[in-house]
Structure 1
Amino acid sequence: MSAAAVSGRAGFGRQLAVALRFALREMRGGLKGFYIFLACIALGTAAIAGVNSLSQSITGAIEGQGRELLAGDIRFEIDNREATQEERAFLDTLGTVSVNSGLRSMARLPDGSNQALVELKSVDDAYPLYGKVETTPPAETVQALVGSRDGGFGAVAAPLLLDRLGLKTGDVLMLGKARLVISAALDREPDAVSDGFGFAPRLMISREALAASGLVQTGSLVEHTYKIRLRPGESAAEARRLAEEKFPAAGWSIRTSSNAAPALTANVTRFSQFLTLVGLTALIVGGVGVANAVRAYIDSKRAVIATFKCLGAPASVVLMIYLIQILAIALIGIAIGLVLGAIIPYAAAQFLAGTLPVPEGFSLYPGALGLAALFGITTALAFAILPLGRARRIPATALFREQGLDGFRLPPWRYLTAAVLLLVLLCGLAIFTAYDRRISTIFLAAVAGSFVVLRLVAFGVAWLARRSPAIASTPLRLAIGNIHRPGALTPSVVLSLGLGLTLLVTIALIDGNLRRQLTGSLAERAPNFFFVDIQGSEVEGFRTLLSEALPEGKIIEVPMLRGRIIAFNGVDVASLNVPPAGQWVLRGDRGITYAKNLPENSTLAEGSWWPADYSGEPLVSFSEQEGRELGLKIGDTVTVNVLGRNITAKIANFRTVEWESLSINFVMVFSPNTFAGAPHAWLATIIDPTATAPQEAEALRRITNAYPTITSVRVKDALDIVNQLVAQLATAIRAAASVALAASVLVLAGALAAGNRARIHDAVILKTLGATRQTLIRAFSYEYAILGASTAIFALAAGGVAAWFVVSQIMELPSTFLPDVALTTLLVALVMTVGIGLIGTWRVLGQKAGPVLREP
């Protein structure tokens, strides 16, 4: 190694030691001027750490409690049929088997005066294999509660069902043809999460009671699950492999305890991704505060920097001194954020316990905390390096002349390059760690575009202020001058508020449009009822009775089967890389039908419909959007498993389906000859916008009493449940968005604090020249109001476009701009800018003239 290299390394080491010594010496005075910096970094880091820690805690609990959540080591689900003797014999070889059956049905009072939809679950003597069913009053076994009773069978009901029907323990309930006696209230079932979300309260009965009810008939929509506690030494993965190898056409869905609730896990991951992006937005907004804080701090150290340079300190040493300080303060903020983020899962668990699987006690999630720390330090450096680079270019003479950082050219190219690389790293981290990278990319592109547009908005407002005509009002003239003068607050205020308000507007408009759809136009256009499990022999009588009950209603009936897509073009779907948007089509069984003619609520998008008397190879019509998401085209083949048989059909056409109408719609409609002779039930709806609540209740009572095995779903009740879920999600999302808004408020406060030095000088000069405090207050109020209104206009425009894209393009629902959201946003912006601005400048107006005018 050359002597020059050794000397260079030694020189750098000495410079670093000197810089570290001076940096620590300057920091002895405290963190004054960096409180906003600390808060911004801590807030964004806490949001990302908390969201990801909570997500990992839930998914980890699902994995750790997999056996209890699944109530078995491995689970086989078959829809619409029970396992054959050969299949059951194979399952018995694996270990202890517990058989459950689930379906939706109507439970009614013995006199037929009231009824309710229930999520029915029949269990056998072995249930549950893992975990425990908790009831009131408690019992040692489920069988003690659901076994035979005098004149009927026992049943365990969810408290909600008891409340709806006014029942208590010991009362009688009718289910189909079976008489049930309520033996206990259901508090908790171990496998509720893995069984999936239900639109109705749970009713648990025995297998014998289900058989006596007569609900399981040809074509009934029943899910039969076989949960197995494996023999010692047996592997769930090996059992799954053997099952798929021996029974390739069984059509069963197999799930192991390591993946007990895949839908819940996926939804938690998606939701946490969105909240992480919101937290990242807060961190990026806070980055503006970081830049402002660094800029103001460097500006306050002008004399110190000038002294360093005059005494011969290299610019690199000066840079290292303040870079060390900024890194130290950033690490303090990150540490605060990580502590808060680590606490969030524990606090949230107190509210989520009983609803979602959460771990007991306090746990740390190093991966989530490490990711948040990486986001925090990258953001701090990305936004701090440019003010440091600009300070390096300032000569000592300029610093002694009390010139700030304004008016000097851009920092050296290596600082610009470093800032760009750090921002690219930040975006890369967000995209690489995302569940759906496409959405993350769009989100980050939107944030970057918003930054650019906000800078243009700030420039435009300053340009208009500069070219505004002379105004007689002194306060207004002063306000306009403050907007466009050198060192104006315009860019900082517009940037700090713009992203936070835009995010709030977007979420508020999406939430408002969803609620409007659920409670307004969608509820008005939706059918009154869905009727499921109508047997072929019941169709005529059902139609007559329903027409008498609701004579103005339009009845639509279609045949319905259940099938699982297992292959496209002969390739197993499990081996395909399916985009997230299309995965729901392949998850579990799908309702399918056949039809001679094109369904009336669909339009042909591509291809041609088959003749009414078609008798060739099986054909299928696929929903256009879902088909495109799955990469299908006309002529491709789809293999579905129906009732244990694999049926392959060629795609003849694509249909545009109006899913938002809530009418009877199917992803796949087959040619009639495909299922010739196959047993199936019917599905029906009735649409009568004029029907009153008493008329609907009477129609439901008559149908339930005449056909107790037909399941009736009142659409308005289902919409109410969905509306409650939307409200809960919206609350969580708004809480996350408020973090971004809080970051905006901090940045706004920091920007105003950074400008106070110039404001004090201006206010003293104006007061010396005769300006009153009232004049200055009005001038500042006008300035903040103009900036707030400008930012609100941008937020409304950008948020409106973003909400329209999400609602109309992703959710495919009608999107409407909501004036109340616009008014609320404008008021929030004005209150924040004027209120915080005046609070920050009140001290400015009280400054005495003497000390300020005597400053050098």
Structure 2
Amino acid sequence: MLKNLPLALRFALREMRGGLSGFLIFLTCIALGVAAIGGVNSVARSISAGVASQGQALLGGDMRFELNQREATPQEQQFLQGLGDLAESADMRSMARLEDGSDQALVEVKAVDGAYPLYGELETEPVLPQQDLFGNRNGVWGAAADDLLFERLGLTPGSRIKLGNLTFELRSKLVTEPDSISDGLAFAPRLLVSLEGLRASGLVQPGSLVEHVYKLRLPAGTSDAQIAEIRAVAAEKFPQAGWSIRTRSNAAPALSANIERFSQFLTLVGLTALVVGGVGVANAVNAYLDGKRGVIATFKCLGAPGGFVFTLYLAQILIIASIGIVAGLVLAALMPFGASAALSSYIPVPTQTGIYPGALALAATFGVLVTLVFAVLPLGRARQVPATALFREMGTGARGLPKTGYVALALGIAAVLAGLSVWFATDRRIAAIFVASAIFAFIVLHAVGLGVQALARRSPRVGSTALRLAIGNIHRPGALTPSVILSLGLGLTLLVTLALIDGNLRRQITDSLPEQAPNFFFVDIQPTEVDSFSSLIAETAPEGKLIRVPMLRGRIMELNGVEVQKVKVPPEGAWVLRGDRGITYARNIPENATLSAGEWWPADYSGEPLVSFSAEEAGQLGLNIGDTVTVNVLGRNITARIANLREVQWESLGINFVMVFSPNTFAGAPHSWLATLTMPGATLQQEAAVLNRVTQTFPAVTSVRVKDALDVVNRLVAQLGSAIRAAASVALIASVLVLSGALAAGNRSRVHDAVVLKTLGATRKTLITAFSLEYMLIGLATAVFALVAGGIAAWFVVDRIMKLPSAFSPTVALSTIAIALVLTVGIGLVGTWRVLGHKAAPVLRNL
């Protein structure tokens, strides 16, 4: 084969002088898939590069030390000040209220000192010096706030609000906060004040949920290796500080992780589109070889071996595929430039636009491999067909599989494609499941196609001529049934899966969660105010149910004496070890908890510290009863032994904790209280009354209305859903293109059938009805498969992975059936109309 390669290439280039007729769908499918994969990865890398290049500004320093519920000790402050320039800030949630008490809103308070910001620029409108912006004027402190706060409370610059026990004047609107992305997701508008103002407000009390952040600007030229050394020294010198340390190279870890996961998911969706397009490649190759039957026969009659024919046309297919790949790469390379402006309103981080060769190379590799996988088998079948069969107009569409070598080659390339998909994925387990599901879907779809043909073959004889013709067309040799079901089935299945997942999430957020969730969360209730707070709630909402628990913040430092940095855990359990966790203590079993293993401690227990751990998370971390967990609380490491495991229903949105400790563990530790209020059937006016009275009576208590938080989550889900549906639509577009190609590839035999039937007396109406019924039956079978397969896949994701109730949506079912019927019947009839217009004489002469 290699010996004849130069000659095969020369003939391949000569034959291509006639143009790319018949390969438009081939080119479009390859270009779409390559553009989707290359574009998604290029955009993700542009965001990651932007985060890395602006790490100092996004973090607000070269290093960031965060402490929960306590300020740094004098020794810790002295250590940090000796490293470089230091800026201190504090973050907490609280309630901002109008001076007359008529309205209030939840705010994310950020208090800064005079050194802020160390990097980047704080932009406000109007622009004011920091002293004028935050300083005290005649007993009134200054502040800047997001536009959203001005809108919610109907304020303008110069208006006054109360925060805690103090009055603040909103002197500017906050335009740009350089380090906001490092503070994580905000559920409320930002209110920027000075540290002195926050301390004077009375909001910061012992046990208050406040984060104290210390940001460092190190001397110029400090390398990442030196920063790592500083981090190690800080851990060695203050082993019980419990601070979270981030550096400029990891400014926004949560954002980076989410971008990686999302880009992986979209890459897999793009790969699905490319694989769906691969069916179009197979159809196009079959149709092309069918048109070249005379040329192939001539080659064989002149002594050309089968390997020469295979090499010649494989070279042509790869040359044509390269055109589609290049077109897709051009689109992918342009995506970061277009996405930079489009994403600016959703992701407030800089993107570093440019060409990303690694992302483009991966997309090109996938494009070549998909082309080879789907081209090898039809090329292998074509080289086996004898010249006599070709001259008898039997075509190249030989049935069955080619020689074993070609089958093995196709399977080997498919294995490489699957391996690369998993290898380059962030979460290889999810990628492996996705790849396995795609392979399984191909097998099942092929079986469905054969099953539909078998049912049509065994169906009873019907009286309607059109229906009888339609059923015959479904199972006749060379029928379109397998190609149509395979091409449309994958795209529809993906669309159904994503639509059902999106629908279940929205239903859970907008319907189910509000029904079972409490109406309010109340945070930072001081121990001295717990009883009076409970009395106020009983008076204001007598029908409501109030649950209150003590609450602290703690960071898991060790598991069974091993530092958490050295513990390998699956991605789904890593969140427990990331950052601080809310923790509590209790004498008795919480009313919403069920023990799955072990026993609860006695009410008067006074032995070694014990902890009750959430069963699911314990399993993910590899913990069992008797293991130890070391938690840092208020700068002190506490080791507790796991006494029991609990089943926790996180979806209830009630008070749930991963860890509940025995009461003696935190004896004497300052803490606040957390409470929930459930008011079944409460109106907006009743909720507003509760919110107003709590805010006026207890200004330091933070009130979170659950519906408002769910609205924020719902908006995020909607934005993600839009992006996911857009990616899925690429797969559906590929399916439509492949469907069009499959129907076009069958036009030659359709012309013969139509001419013969018209010669025998069939009317145009009868033929159109027959073709319509054929496409309708195939489309209906495809829709049924997509609904079953997509429903199972969505149930697995929602029920098994997300641990949420799953329900099937009739709207999705009806939409899927409608889409399938419109596409198959519509596209089929467009092609059929041209078929019916052929003159009989030229066709009959060649029969």
The TM-score range, normalised by the shorter chain, is over 0.9
Distance, in Å, in 2 between the alignment partners of 1:333 and 1:793 is: 33
Q: 2:678 corresponds to which residue?
A: 687
Q: Choose from 482, 487, 490 the match for 1:491.
A: 482
Deviations 1:111-138 (A, max 9, x none): 1000000000000000000000111112
Contact 1:124 1:143 (C-alpha < 8 Å) held by counterparts: no
1:377-456 aligned within 5 A: 377-456=368-447
Structure 1 residues 659 and 360, CA, compared in 2 at 3 Å: closer, same or farther?
A: closer
Query: Shift of residue 362 of structure 1?
Result: 4.1
CA distance in 1, matches of 2:404, 2:535: 81
| 1:212 correspondence with 2:212 | no
Corresponding residue for 2:169?
Answer: 181
Q: Which residue of 1 aligns with 2:42?
A: 53
Deviations 1:679-710 (A, max 9, x none): 11000001111211101101111000000000
- Matched with 1:43 is 32
**Equivalent residues in 2 for 1:379-778, closer than 5 Å:** 379-778=370-769
Distance 2:130 2:32 in 1: 48
In structure 2, what is the Cα distance between the partners aligned to 1:358 and 1:199?
A: 18
Preserved CA contact (<8 Å) 1:121 1:205: yes
In structure 2, the partner of 1:7 is none
Match of 1:114 among 103, 108, 123: 103
Query: Are the aligned partners of 2:51 and 2:351 in contact in 1 as well (CA < 8 Å)?
Result: no
| Pairing 1:154–2:145 present | no
Q: Which amino acid aligns with 2:239?
A: P
Contact 2:282/2:378 (<8 A) preserved: yes
Distance 2:221 2:122 in 1: 27
Distance 1:358 1:109 in 2: 33
The secondary structure found in structure 1 opposite 2:595 is: strand
1:357 CA displacement? 5.1
Say if 2:99 and 2:161, in contact at 8 Å, map to a contact too: yes
Note if contact 1:498-1:795 (Cα within 8 Å) is conserved in structure 2.
Answer: yes
The answer on whether the counterparts of 1:458 and 1:494 sit within 8 Å (CA) in structure 2 is yes
Q: Distance in 2 between matches of 1:629 and 1:804?
A: 22
The 2-side partners of 1:238 and 1:294 are apart by: 60
From the superposition, tell whether residues 557 and 309 of structure 1 become closer, same or farther in structure 2 (CA, over 3 Å).
same
- 1:576-625 superposed Cα distances (whole Å, 9 cap, x missing partner): 22211011111110000011111111111111111111111111111111
Equivalent residues in 2 for 1:127-166, closer than 5 Å: 127-139=116-128, 141-166=129-154
Q: 2:802 aligns with which of 811, 814, 819?
A: 811
State the shift of 1:770 in Å.
Answer: 1.1
Distance 2:492 2:593 in 1: 39
Matched residue, 1:6 = none
| Per-residue CA distance 1:445-472 (angstroms, 9 max, x = gap) | 1111111111111111101100111111
Q: Percent identity?
A: 66
SS in 1 for 2:554: strand
Amino acid at match of 1:226: Y
**What residue identity is the alignment partner of 1:615?**
S
The alpha carbon displacement at 1:359 in A equals: 4.8
Match of 2:190 in 1: 202
How do 1:331-350 residues align onto structure 2 when only pairs under 5 Å count?
331-350=322-341
- Distance in 2 (alpha carbons) for counterparts of 1:248 and 1:434: 36
Task: Spell out, residue by residue over 1:454-512, the C-alpha distance to the aligned partner (whole angstroms, 9 max, x if none).
Answer: 11111111011001111111111100000000000000000001111111111111111
Aligned length: 844
SS in structure 2 at match of 1:501: helix
Is the contact between residue 45 and residue 376 of structure 1 (CA under 8 Å) also seen in structure 2?
Answer: yes
RMSD, aligned CA: 1.1
CA contact 2:48–2:351 (8 Å) conserved in 1: no
Match of 1:126 among 104, 115, 120: 115
* Matched position secondary structure for 1:557: strand
Counterpart Cα distance in 1 of 2:131 and 2:617: 44
In the TM superposition, what whole-angstrom CA distance separates every residue of 1:19-65 from its partner, at most 9, and x where no partner exists? Answer: 11110011011111111111111111110001101110111111110
Q: Structure 1 residue 18: deviation in Å?
A: 1.2
Shift of residue 147, structure 1, vs aligned partner? 1.5
Residues 57 and 358 in structure 1, CA contact (< 8 A), matched pair in contact too: no
C-alpha deviation, 1:188, in angstroms? 1.2
| SS at structure 2 position matched to 1:663 | coil
Counterpart CA distance in 1 for 2:842 and 2:313 is 29
The DSSP-based 3-state class of the residue aligned with 1:404 is: coil
Instruction: Name whichever of 528-537 and 592-601 sits farther off.
Output: 592-601
Query: Residue 285 and residue 229 in structure 1: after superposition, are their counterparts in 2 closer, same or farther (change >3 A)?
Result: same
Shift of 1:543: 0.5
Which residue pairs with 1:78 in the alignment?
67
Which structure 1 residue ranges, 5 or more long, are not aligned? 1-10
Give the whole-Å Cα distance in 1 for the aligned partners of 2:241 and 2:338.
Answer: 45
Displacement of 1:320 after TM fit?
Answer: 1.1
**In structure 2, the residue corresponding to 1:323 is in which secondary structure?**
helix
- Partner of residue 812, structure 2: 821
Contact kept, 8 Å, 1:117 with 1:712, in 2: the verdict is: yes
Mapped to 2, the partners of 1:239 and 1:742 lie a distance apart of: 53
Larger mean Cα displacement after TM superposition, 79-88 or 598-607: 598-607
| 1:4 match | none
Q: 2:48, 2:14 → 1: CA distance? A: 46
- Cα–Cα, structure 1 residues 297 and 618, in superposed 2: closer, same or farther, change >3 Å? same
Relative to structure 2, which stretch is displaced further, 291-300 or 530-539?
Answer: 291-300
**Aligned partners of 2:376, 2:383: CA distance in 1, in Å?**
11
Note if contact 1:172-1:179 (Cα within 8 Å) is conserved in structure 2: yes
2:54 corresponds, among 65, 69, 85, to 65
**In the alignment, is residue 269 of structure 1 matched against residue 260 of structure 2?**
yes
Amino acid corresponding to residue 39 of structure 1 in structure 2:
T
Q: Tell me, yes or no, if the aligned pair for 2:47 and 2:351 is still in contact at 8 Å.
A: no
Which range is displaced more, 612-621 or 552-561?
612-621
Unaligned runs of 5+ in 2: none
Structure 2 CA distance for aligned equivalents of residues 604 and 30 of structure 1: 72
Distance 1:352 1:36 in 2: 31
1:788 aligns with 2:779: yes
- Check whether the contact 1:170–1:181 (CA below 8 A) recurs between aligned residues: yes
1:408 Cα deviation after fit:
4.1
- Superposition deviation, residue 358 in structure 1: 5.2
Q: What is the CA distance between 1:233 and its match in structure 2?
A: 4.2
CA contact (8 A) 1:636 1:650 kept: yes
Q: Does 1:33 align with 2:1?
A: no
The TM-score normalised by the length of structure 2 is 0.99
How far apart, CA to CA, are the structure 2 residues paired with 1:820 and 1:408? 40
CA distance in 2, matches of 1:546, 1:269: 45
> 3-state DSSP class of the match of 1:250?
coil
Letter in 2 for 1:347: G
Assess if the C-alpha contact under 8 Å between 1:133 and 1:189 holds in 2.
Answer: yes
Which deviations, in whole Å up to 9, do the C-alpha atoms of 1:171-230 show, x marking residues without a partner? 111000111001100111011111111100000000111011101001100011001100
CA–CA distance in structure 1, aligned partners of residues 444 and 292 of structure 2: 32
**Separation in 2 of the partners of 1:61 and 1:825?**
40
